[in-house]
Amino acid sequence: MSKRFLAVLGATVLALGLTACGGEGAGGGGDTSAEKPADLTIGVAMPTQTSERWIADGNSVKQKLEAKGYKVDLQYAGDDIPTQSQQVDQMITQGADVLIIAAIDGTALSGQLQAAADAKIPVIAYDRLIRESPNVDFYVSFDNYKVGVAQATALLVGLGLQNKDGSKGTAKGPFNIELFAGSLDDNNAHFFFDGAMDTLKPFIDDKSLRVKSGQTSIEQVAILRWQQETAQKRMEDLLTSSYNDGTKVQGVLSPYDGLSRGIITALQNAGYGGSGAKMPVVTGQDAEIASVKLINDGVQHSTIFKDTRLLAEQAVIAAEAFLQEKEPQANDTKTYDNGVKVVPSNLLPVQTVYKDDIKPVLVDSGYWTAEEVASGQAKG
Residues 6 or more apart in contact with residue 275 via CB below 8 angstroms: none
Give the three-class secondary structure for 123.
Answer: strand
Report yes or no: 228 and 262 within 8 Å, Cβ to Cβ: yes
Judged by CB under 6 A, does residue 256 bind ligand BGC? yes
Q: How would DSSP label each residue in 203-258? A: HHHTTSEEETT---SHHHHB-GGG-HHHHHHHHHHHHHHHSTTS----EEE-SSHH
Of 12-51, binders to ligand BGC (CB under 6 A) are: 51
Strand 138-142 relative to strand 123-126, pairing: parallel
Of 53-72, binders to ligand BGC (CB under 6 A) are: 53
Q: Which helix (H) or strand (E) holds 309?
A: helix 308-323
Judged by CB under 6 A, does residue 188 bind ligand BGC? yes
The nearest distance, CB 379 to ligand BGC, in angstroms, is 21
The nearer residue to ligand BGC, 100 or 239, going by C-beta atoms, is: 100
Judged by CB under 6 A, does residue 79 bind ligand BGC? no
Which window, 66-74, 182-190, 204-212, 328-336, contacts ligand BGC (CB under 6 A)?
Answer: 182-190
DSSP 139: E
Conformation bin of residue 23: beta by default, left when phi > 0, alpha when psi is -120 to 50: left
The nearer residue to ligand BGC, 87 or 285, going by C-beta atoms, is: 285
The nearest distance, CB 201 to ligand BGC, in angstroms, is 22
The nearest distance, CB 222 to ligand BGC, in angstroms, is 12
The dihedral over CA atoms of 259, 260, 266, 269, expressed in degrees to the nearest 10, equals -140
The nearest distance, CB 223 to ligand BGC, in angstroms, is 10
Report yes or no: 252 and 279 within 8 Å, Cβ to Cβ: no
The nearer residue to ligand BGC, 224 or 342, going by C-beta atoms, is: 224
Count Cβ neighbours within 10 Å for each residue of 80-110 and write b for 16 or more, e otherwise: ebebbbebbeebbeebbbbbbbbbbbbebbb
Max intra-chain CA distance, the chain: 82
Judged by CB under 6 A, does residue 127 bind ligand BGC? yes
Q: How many residues bind ligand BGC (CB under 6 A)?
A: 12
Judged by CB under 6 A, does residue 52 bind ligand BGC? no
Residues 6 or more apart in contact with residue 118 via CB below 8 angstroms: none
The nearest distance, CB 286 to ligand BGC, in angstroms, is 5
The nearest distance, CB 33 to ligand BGC, in angstroms, is 32
Judged by CB under 6 A, does residue 226 bind ligand BGC? yes
Judged by CB under 6 A, does residue 285 bind ligand BGC? yes
Of 329, 365, 375, nearest to 124 by C-alpha is 329
Judged by CB under 6 A, does residue 4 bind ligand BGC? no
The nearer residue to ligand BGC, 226 or 368, going by C-beta atoms, is: 226
The nearest distance, CB 200 to ligand BGC, in angstroms, is 19
The nearest distance, CB 224 to ligand BGC, in angstroms, is 12
Strand 71-76 relative to strand 351-353, pairing: unpaired
Out of 3, 4, 64, 128, the residue judged to bind ligand BGC by CB under 6 A: 128
The nearer residue to ligand BGC, 176 or 308, going by C-beta atoms, is: 308
The dihedral over CA atoms of 69, 70, 71, 77, expressed in degrees to the nearest 10, equals -130
Judged by CB under 6 A, does residue 307 bind ligand BGC? no
The nearer residue to ligand BGC, 5 or 192, going by C-beta atoms, is: 192
The nearest distance, CB 171 to ligand BGC, in angstroms, is 28
Judged by CB under 6 A, does residue 225 bind ligand BGC? no
The nearest distance, CB 74 to ligand BGC, in angstroms, is 17
What sign results for the dihedral spanned by CA atoms 89, 91, 95, 100?
Answer: negative
Out of 57, 286, 307, 320, the residue judged to bind ligand BGC by CB under 6 A: 286
Residues binding ligand BGC (CB under 6 A): 51, 53, 127-128, 182, 186, 188, 226, 256, 285-286, 306
